[in-house]
Amino acid sequence: MNAIAEKPFQEIMPKAILAKLGNLNGDTIHILVATDLDAHLRYGVQWVVVTDRQVVVVPEQGDNGQIIVPIEEVKSVKVEERVGSGTLEIERKTGATVSVPYSRTMMSKFAEVADAIRQLSEDEALELPTQLEETHCHTCGKRLPEKNGVCAACLKKWETFRRIVSYMAAYPVKMVVTILLTLVSALLTLLPPKVTQYVIDGVLGSDFALVVIPFIETTDRVERLGLLISALVVVRVAIWGIEVATQWLGRSLGLRAIGDLREDLYRAFQLLPVRFYDKRKVGALVSRMTNDTDRMEGLMVYDFYFIFSNIMMFVGILGLLFWTSWELTLYVLAPIPLIIFAGTKIWYRIMGFWTRWSGKWSRLYAQLNESIHGIRVVKAFAQEEREGKRFDEHNEALMDVSVGGERLWFAFFTVTNFFMSFGVFFVWYIGGRQILNDELSLGELMAFLSYLWMLYQPLRWFGDFYSFILRAFASAQRVFEVVDGEPEPFDNPNAVRKERIDGDLKFENVYFGYDPGKPVLKGVDLDVKAGEMIGLVGKSGTGKSTLINLICRFYDPDRGQVLVDGVPMNDLALNDLRSQIGMVHQQPFLFDGTIADNIAYGNPSATFDDVIRAALAAEAHEFIVKKPDGYDMRVGERGNRLSGGEKQRISIARAILHDPRILILDEATSSLDTPTEKKIQAAIARLVEGRTTFAIAHRLSTLRSADRLVVIDEGKVAEEGSHEELMERQGIFYRLVKTQQESTAVVGVGAIEGDAAEDS
Amino acid sequence: MTTDILEMDKMEETKKETKWKPTPIETVHPEHVDAGKVRLFKDPDWVLRMTIEGDRSYLLVKVVRAAPLTQPDRYFCILDIKDEAICMLEDLDQLEKNSHPFVFEEMERRYLTAEIESIESLQNEYGVSYWNVETNRGTREFVAKSVAEHAQWLGERRLMIFDVDGNRFEVTDIDKLDKRSQGLLESVL
């Protein structure tokens, strides 16, 4: 259904449809794409063909029903976003509008198709993107969970295991030694039953003299006993010693490896683009850092070596069993194929439980995170009880899943254990008869029984481990999903380095939307000179903050480009760009540390003198020194021990010390009382000097110092000019000012009103 | 002492007497429109228009659900060309009969949800689930991420699943699925 074309917009059309289409009068076909919904909104296909002279819509089912719209008949074309679908709407100069539905999967494709038809109908040169974002896996053709992302279906269990091991393989010597020691210890564990066999047959048995004991020549019973028991003691001590060494080495190795993994995960969190965080809950992400790595820690620190030792034990014991009596061994092993069969059947169900278990944990975390962050709101609305209930629900769901998983496992395990232990009865009966017939010695039977019990040990362990490794794997999948996320292009070797940018910024026909087919910016053109202060004005939701997001390169434009000093932003080294952008927000985020730390955040090498100078310039010094601990005061999480105005001034000081070339003031002075605002205004006036500045403010009076005001409306630059010019123009800006004047609560608009009166 | 106790008793009594009444919520926008006077019609065939009898007419309107998931059959809002609310119809019965088909048609066009009838296969890899389902709109394959986290419960047994592109798949009643589909579904929830 989702045809993957070699080239975008030239999908492979079935021959039957091609035939139906005819030769289209020999037109050049620019676009040949399929939808995934038919005209009746059922899953099916319609083909949209765009040539230089016409647009043809062909349903895949049925004989005809083609709709042909000559390009010159196109009045307008757009994509309409609906709930769960979208449509390509071609309005004709005469006649009904053609509406082609498709699912949300095809949004971005048809946004381009619509634009291409528009270009053709407006006689513009046709410009189609040569590359679309990858949405399907190259190998298996499945939809990728994230555009340009990793195909989850192609990642294998073995691959997960290999990747976990690769973290340990970073310490090869330790790893190899630990594994070798584990193997030796496993082999030594196999010795005691054999020694016991010799004790029974070669010391205690009536035919002891006939029994040959390796390495022991004497036939004296007491001497033999002494030597054999000494051997048992030596083996036990050796095993103990090796185990201590293995644990010593293994734990440090595992902990280091998991430390590296945590580091990678944290780094990934830092380097992932802002887009990654758009639709995820903080608590759920934190859970990957805590819970999921914890699970993996268990595997890497404690269980990893047991895999080797238990495999070794299992194989060794099996060999010894066969060697002692192959007949008896076959009886014992009879139920094993059945167990393996049941095991594979149950694998996915248990795996499912543990995936869900992780998911439930995330939800619990997310809720915890939310209710603790919002604790003031919870209390103010007296909703503690309800939040408690919500928590209980999540907690219970988690418990249910855990209990379900454990029960399933327990049931499986006890049943198999029960059948396996039946083997012992066979062994006693058949082995006993073999002894009576002199085919087997008592010592051999005892050794056989000991080995049999020992065989259950790795089996039981694999049982427990199996469930555990499944949990660890499910966790690993979630962790690697983050680690594998496409990071921002910080280390692009071809990037243009610019240690000092001037601050010229140019938007060239920039289109951008957070969701495909839903543009927020629709062709922004803006030229800003270095050192200029721009006030961004517009109703909320018109794209002001989006523009800022593009300046910071938190997102890349869908079309068009942003130039910094004449260099396309995408070619500029990201680090160079970001390190020269400073931001002052309405709700500044401070880190838990001292005031001085926070001021020096963007410039850690700053001296204390610098910090004080920045604080002075930001009008913050005065209030800081009044605090008992002055600059050494800890501000608390998110700076919650400071007032809003204090935080704001510290964030201005932080920006001053950071010394950016491009400065962004996002509602930097709103929600402050007038005296505080005056102080901050003064501080900001100092800050903007000589820097390219973008200021967003709802209170239009705060933009009076701007060199130029830019009014954004409907995703475009609607008006541009000084505040006087815009007032004269009586356009959007004028109306915004008027609206503010009407609302008496707004402080400072009187000034503008005065200006307006003077102007007129 | 005694007077204190008497006074407290009195206070208790008055407390019992004063019953809490919710403060009425006043609204001004959108202005109240008598739903009985609303007429929806198409002219030309592909443009939905509206007239409030004896008052005014709109050349292009849109009908949307106020709460499409929980109240699909009630609370229809009519928006003008600028997406500003003109009025709300709490109940379709308020609207004259001839206008009803236009509302249904708009709903069909605007909201596309596929109802899952059975799950043919469901594979879960690394928190990403690969679905192959039979729906009221035909067979469909889709991919969803962390369903347990992102699916929206609309009732005890009613569930909305969103795929990675934001397409919507609804299970109207988990119990009505066949046992196999139920098992597959439970494995990701």
Complex prediction ipTM: 0.83
What SS3 class is residue B153? Answer: strand
Same domain, B98 and B123: no
Domains of chain A are 15-121 (2.30.29.30), 157-483 (1.20.1560.10), 489-580+662-668+688-760 (3.40.50.300), 586-659 (3.40.50.300)
CA distance B56 to B33: 11
Look at residue B168 and tell me if it is in a domain.
yes
What average pLDDT does range A452-464 have in this prediction?
76
What SS3 class is residue A591? Answer: coil
Among A256, A253, A276, CA closest to A264: A256
Residues with Cβ within 8 Å of A659's Cβ and at least 6 positions away in sequence, in order, are: A582, A603
Among A664, A665, A687, A672, CA closest to A617: A687
**Closest chain A residue to the Cα of B69, Cα to Cα:** A83
Chosen for mutation from B48, B121, B125, B189 (greatest number of chain A CBs closer than 10 Å) is: B125
Would the pLDDT of A132 be above 80? Answer: no
- Per residue in A524-540, pLDDT (tens digit) is 999 999 989 999 988 87
CATH at B130 = 2.60.40
Look at residue B161 and tell me if it is in a domain.
yes
**Closest chain B residue to the Cα of A45, Cα to Cα:** B138
Q: For residue B141, how many other CB atoms are within 10 A of its CB?
A: 16
Question: How is B97-144 classified by DSSP, letter by letter?
Answer: GGGHHHHHHHHHHHB-EEEEEEEEEEEEETTEEEEEEEETTEEEEEEE
Q: What is the pLDDT of residue A131?
A: 65
Question: How is A188-241 classified by DSSP, letter by letter?
Answer: HHTHHHHHHHHIIIIIISTTGGG--BTTB----HHHHHHHHHHHHHHHHHHHHH
Same domain, B65 and B124: no
Q: For residue A729, how many other CB atoms are within 10 A of its CB?
A: 13
**Subunit contact A44:B138, Cβ cutoff 8 A:** yes
Whether omega before A337 lies within 30 degrees of 0, making that bond cis, reads no
Would the pLDDT of B103 be above 70? Answer: yes
Number of folded domains in chain B?
Answer: 2
What average pLDDT does range A359-382 have in this prediction?
83
Among A285, A685, A710, CA closest to A521: A710
Same domain, B105 and B124: no
SS (H, E, C) A466-490: HHHHHHHHHHHHHHHHHHCCCCCCC
Residue ranges making up the domain that contains B67: 35-110
Q: What is the pLDDT of residue B16?
A: 53
The C-alpha angle with vertex A224 and arms to A442 and A214, in degrees rounded to 5, equals 75
Would the pLDDT of A723 be above 70? Answer: yes
Q: What is the pLDDT of residue A235?
A: 94
CB A727 within 8 A of CB A759: yes
Same domain, B88 and B104: yes
- Per residue in B107-120, pLDDT (tens digit) is 988 899 999 999 99
Same domain, B93 and B126: no
What is the least distance, in Å, from the CA of B1 to any CA of chain A? 35
Look at residue B15 and tell me if it is in a domain.
no
Q: What is the pLDDT of residue A486?
A: 79
Residue given tokens 């509008």 in the structure block: A97
- Per residue in A86-123, pLDDT (tens digit) is 999 999 888 888 899 999 888 888 888 998 898 888 88
User: Between chain A and chain B, how many beta carbons pairs sit less than 8 Å apart?
Assistant: 107
Decide which of B83, B110, B137 is a domain's last residue.
B110
Q: What is the DSSP letter of A701?
A: G
User: Across all residues in chain B, what is the average pLDDT?
Assistant: 83
- Edge-to-edge order in the sheet of strand A567-568: A521-528, A505-512, A559-564, A567-568
Same domain, B123 and B150: yes
Would the pLDDT of A671 be above 60? Answer: no
What average pLDDT does range B33-51 have in this prediction?
86
User: In this structure, is the dihedral angle defined by the CA atoms of residues A537, A543, A546 and A547, taken in order, positive or negative?
Assistant: negative
Among B81, B83, B76, B84, CA closest to B38: B76
Look at residue B5 and tell me if it is in a domain.
no
- Edge-to-edge order in the sheet of strand B48-52: B38-42, B48-52, B56-58
What is the least distance, in Å, from the CA of B44 to any CA of chain A? 8
What average pLDDT does range A605-629 have in this prediction?
88
What is the least distance, in Å, from the CA of A418 to any CA of chain B? 28
CA distance A254 to A304: 8
pLDDT band at A753, cuts 50/70/90? very low
Same domain, B44 and B89: yes
In a 10 Å sphere around its CB, with 0-12 CB exposed, 13-18 middle and 19+ buried, how is residue B94 labelled?
middle
Q: For residue B159, how many other CB atoms are within 10 A of its CB?
A: 20
Among A420, A279, A277, A276, CA closest to A343: A420
Of B45, B140, B187, the CB nearest to A96: B45
Among A549-563, A708-722, A742-756, B22-36, the range scoring the smallest mean pLDDT is A742-756
Q: What is the pLDDT of residue A469?
A: 77
Decide which of B94, B110, B126 is a domain's last residue.
B110
- Per residue in A39-91, pLDDT (tens digit) is 888 999 899 999 888 898 988 876 567 888 888 889 989 888 888 899 999 99
pLDDT band at A670, cuts 50/70/90? low
Same domain, B89 and B130: no
**Subunit contact A41:B166, Cβ cutoff 8 A:** no
- Per residue in A282-325, pLDDT (tens digit) is 777 888 888 888 888 888 887 788 888 888 888 889 888 888 88
Q: What is the DSSP letter of A143?
A: B
CA distance A310 to A318: 12
**Subunit contact A480:B126, Cβ cutoff 8 A:** yes
Look at residue B24 and tell me if it is in a domain.
no
Rg of chain B over Cα atoms, rounded to whole angstroms, equals 25
Same domain, B97 and B117: no
Of A42, A143, A366, the CB nearest to B143: A143
Chain A within 8 Å of B148 (Cβ-Cβ)?
Answer: yes
Would the pLDDT of B14 be above 70? Answer: no
Decide which of B63, B81, B110 is a domain's last residue.
B110
Same domain, B104 and B50: yes
What average pLDDT does range A731-747 have in this prediction?
73
Same domain, B80 and B135: no
Would the pLDDT of A182 be above 80? Answer: yes
Would the pLDDT of B2 be above 70? Answer: no
CA distance A63 to A220: 101
pLDDT band at A136, cuts 50/70/90? confident
CA distance A263 to A557: 31
Look at residue B101 and tell me if it is in a domain.
yes
Among A162-171, B124-133, B164-173, the range scoring the smallest mean pLDDT is B124-133
CA distance B165 to A81: 13
Look at residue B1 and tell me if it is in a domain.
no
What average pLDDT does range A245-258 have in this prediction?
90
Same domain, B45 and B94: yes
Look at residue B154 and tell me if it is in a domain.
yes
- Per residue in A409-421, pLDDT (tens digit) is 888 878 877 777 7
